[in-house]
Structure 1
C-alpha cells in the first residue's frame, strides 16, 4: 500500500484492520464542525482511497462527543457580511458535497459511518450518503438549517425523501427538530444499528470485516448497482447501466470470480486478491 497524502491535525487517518481505512474528524472542542481545511483533507484522502487497490472499506467517525455538528456557521455568517454570496455557484459546483462526502457518488467502495455522538446539518448530510450507519444510543440527529435561515442543500433532501418518504422527510427538514437514534432507526430508517457508545467503533469494524471477507470485485460492483438505482428512473435502466459499468466488466473478467466459484466447488474459504484499478 502506498503512503497516504499528508493531512492536517483536523483529520486522523488509521488502518484498524486489513483492507480497512478509518477517518476520524478531529475537532472535538468544536464538535467536529467542518472547516475548509478538514474538507480538503477528506477530499484528498478519499481520492487516494478510491485509487488504492488494497483498501476495500472506509469507516468515518468523529473524535469526542459528536460525529459532526455541521458547517461552521460563524464563518458562514462572516462570508455573508462581507458580501461573498456565491452560495448557489458553490453548491452547484461542489461535486462531492459537504465534507467531500455528502454527494460523493463515483467511489464503488463501501463507506461506513460510525456515529459516536450527535450529528447535525452537514453531519447528517454526510452520513445519509454512507452505505451503512452505526450509531450510539445517546446520539441525536437534526437538520436545523431552516432555523438558521439556510437550507440543507448538499444532497440530503432527495436522499431523506427517498429513505423516509415525503412526509417524514418534511418533518425533519421543515421543523428542524432533533430526533433520537432510536427514531432515526425505526421511524426515519437511516440508521442500521444502535449500540452503546463503547460499541460503536467495534461494531463498525466488525461490519467492515464482514464486508472484506467477501470478494472486493463483487462488493464494488454491487455498490455501483446501489448508486445507479438512485440515479435512474426505472429498475430496467439501473440494471442495464450496471451491466455496462466498469465495475461489472472488471468483475466478470477478474481472478476473484474464478476464485469464488472454485472455492465453493472445493468447499474451502476463498482467498481474494486486490481488484484491478478501474
Structure 2
C-alpha cells in the first residue's frame, strides 16, 4: 500500500520496496523532508520481513539534482543525524538497495546512487559530481566512495573536473550494472530486485555486512568477520532449507531464520 503523496513515496511491488523522491518541481533535489523521508523508507524496508530489497528512484524522469541549495540557504539540513546526507549516505542498511536512474543524477543525486548496492541507468541518464565548481567537495559520500568503485585516476578526474558523464560511460567505468532504454530503469531495477529476492535473506544481509566490515580492514580481520557470519548461516534454518530444496530440485521457501 502506498504512503501519502509526500516528498518521498513508498510502494511495495512484489518483494521490493520502491522508494520514490517526489519533488518534480525541484528536480527531486534533496531537502530536509526528502532526507527524513528516505530514512523512514529504509526503516520500513528493514522492518518488513516480506520485503527483500529496496529500489530508489525519482519521479518525472529525473533521479535527483542533488542538494536543494535554496533549502540549504534557508537553514534546512539535507541530512539525518547518524545517517548522513539524504538519510542514506552514512546509513548501514540490512537489505540490498538498487538505484533506478533516469535523467540527472548530479552532485548529491550521484551520491545517492553510490550509496546503493546496484545501479540501473536509463540511456539518457547523466552523472556528475560538480561540487568543485561551486567551491565545495562531494561531501555526501562522493569523495569517499567513488575512488573505491573505479580506478583512482579515473575517480580523481571526475572529482577534480566536475565533468558530466553519460550512462554509457558510467557503464564502461563499472558504476552502472545495466544500461536500459529511457523510461525502463525502474522496470529493469525491479527485475533485478526479483532476482536478488530469490536468494536467502540472511545470506543477503551477511553479504552486505561482510563487504562493509571488510572495507579497509586487514585481511585477518575481514576473514574473521566472514567466518563468524558463515558459521551463523550454516546453523540457520534457511541453510537447511536451501540444501533440501537443492536435493529435491525445487525452489526454496526462505523464512529468514
Give the alignment of 1:87-126 within 5 angstroms: 94-105=81-92, 107-126=93-112
- Hey, what's the Cα distance between the residues in 2 that align with 1:11 and 1:242? 35
State the alpha-carbon separation in 2 of the partners of residues 102 and 7 from structure 1. Answer: 24
Aligned to 2:223: 239
Question: Where do 5+ consecutive residues of structure 1 fail to align?
Answer: none
What is the RMSD computed on CA atoms of the aligned residues?
Answer: 2.2
CA distance in 2, matches of 1:75, 1:270: 48
SS in structure 1 of the partner of residue 49 of structure 2: coil
| Corresponding position of 2:211 | 226
Deviations 1:158-178 (A, max 9, x none): 211111122111111111111
Q: Distance in 2 between matches of 1:23 and 1:78?
A: 26
Q: Which runs of 5+ in 2 are unaligned?
A: none
Q: In the TM superposition, what is the alpha-carbon distance from 1:182 to its structure 2 partner?
A: 0.9
User: How many angstroms does 1:242 deviate by?
Assistant: 3.0
Deviation at 1:94, TM superposition (A): 4.2
Q: Distance in 2 between matches of 1:161 and 1:244?
A: 29
The offset of 1:7, in angstroms, is 6.2
**Equivalent residue, structure 2, for 1:51:** 47
Residue 190 of structure 1, aligned match among 175, 195, 208: 175
Residue number among 235, 243, 254 corresponding to 1:253 in the alignment: 235
| 1:37 matched to 2:21 | no
Residue 108 of structure 1 deviates from its aligned partner by 2.2
CA contact (8 A) 1:217 1:250 kept: no
Per-residue displacement from partner, 1:131-163 (whole Å, max 9, x unpaired)?
100000000011011111222112221211111
Conserved? CA contact 2:65–2:104, under 8 Å: yes
Q: Please, which of 9, 14, 18 is the counterpart of residue 12 of structure 1?
A: 9
Which of 249, 254, 257 aligns to 1:272? It is 254
**Residue 271 (structure 1) shift:** 1.4
Asked whether the 8 Å contact 1:8–1:41 carries over to 2, the reply is no
Q: SS at 1:153's partner residue?
A: coil
Report matched runs for 1:43-192 at 5 Å: 43-79=39-75, 94-105=81-92, 107-187=93-173, 189-192=174-177
CA distance in 2, matches of 1:165, 1:233: 19
Contact 2:31–2:72, Cα closer than 8 Å, also in 1:
no
1:8–1:37 CA contact under 8 A, matched in 2: no
